[in-house]
Amino acid sequence: MLLKRNILLFGELVTFPHTLFVLPLIFSGYFIAIQEFYLLNFFLVLIASVSARTIGMLLNRIIDLKVDQLNPRTKSRPLPSGRVSMRLAKVYLSLSIIIFLVSSFLICDFLIYLALIPIVMFYIYPFTKKFTFLCHFFLGATLSLGPLAGGIAATCSLKSFFDTWPIALFTLFWISGFDILYALKDYSHDIKEGIYSIPSFFGKKVSINISIYCFLLSLIFIFIYILKTGPTIFQFIIFSIISMGLFVQVYNSKKSDFSFFEYNSYIGFLILILIISDILFI
């Protein structure tokens, strides 16, 4: 029972279900670039992806501890509430970094150097909320590394950038747009505590408009990818569903109980389906 409790607590600490939101982005890049499928390589990419995402969440939780303790929405989380100690969180972080670096090296030895880039960006991100409203775009840029990394992991070559860049730019603007909407939940708290965000800086109405522009840009890059690879009817159907999905969350952005992460995990899987459909010539 104790082991089960600790596993569940760790899952809550890193919001493990939200990993489903990140994995499709990485594997979209992976399947775009892949030439030959090897199960071991796929498994190592999966481990690296999950551990990288865990590093990002743990750094955010650790660095933002004092902020989360003051926020009514986040103060019940495991670390702010004291259910998980700072010492244990740092142990989890250290193990995650080791797993990420080792798995990256096993995929392709030079990746251990590139693996330092997302770790540094994960570390910087929580601090951006303390001095710039562009923090949403920094988060988008950080997660846009996912498709690029997936492509490199599939080929052990930087040449995959030429194939994965539209998905990376889609990710940049998609993540930025939905993070702006997500920040509406903390609008009053961010103003009170001096947290930088587009909503706290420009107000709710302007923020929603900016997120719409971000979503439009993200759709443009998906459309570029479709044209680049040779459009199919199935891809246009998926594109239409993604378009509707993005603007449904704009419509629901003012609802306090709307689950942005859960909803956007579906968007991520739709992108992955679109990519795989191109490979299978659907």
Q: Who has greater pLDDT, 21 or 53?
A: 53
Q: Which has the closest alpha carbon to 157: 211, 193, 114, 194? A: 114
For the chain, what percent of residues have pLDDT higher than 70? 93
The pLDDT, as a whole number, for residue 217 is: 98
- CA separation (Å) from 162 to 108, 144, 157, 237? 19, 14, 11, 25
Band of the pLDDT at 205, cuts 50, 70, 90? very high
Plot region of 156 (φ>0 → left; ψ -120 to 50 → alpha; else → beta): left
Decide if pLDDT at 33 tops 80.
yes
Band of the pLDDT at 8, cuts 50, 70, 90? confident
Q: Which has the closest alpha carbon to 246: 180, 183, 164, 168? A: 180
Question: Tens digit of pLDDT for each residue in 91-150?
Answer: 999 999 999 999 999 999 999 999 999 999 999 999 999 999 999 999 999 999 999 999
Evaluate if pTM is beyond 0.75: yes
Q: Who has greater pLDDT, 15 or 99?
A: 99
- Residue boundaries of the structural domains of the chain: 2-280
The pLDDT, as a whole number, for residue 257 is: 57
Mean pLDDT of the residues in the chain: 89
Q: How many contiguous H segments (helices) and E segments (strands) does the chain have?
A: 16, 0
CATH topology of domain 2-280: Tetracycline Repressor; domain 2 (1.10.357)
The pLDDT, as a whole number, for residue 261 is: 65
Alpha-carbon torsion angle 135, 138, 140, 146, nearest 10: -150
CA atoms within 13 A on the CB side of 46: 7
The pLDDT, as a whole number, for residue 3 is: 62
Q: At residue 5, what are phi and psi to the nearest 5 degrees?
A: -65, -45
User: Helix (H, G, I), strand (E, B), or coil: what is residue 167?
Assistant: helix
The pLDDT, as a whole number, for residue 173 is: 97
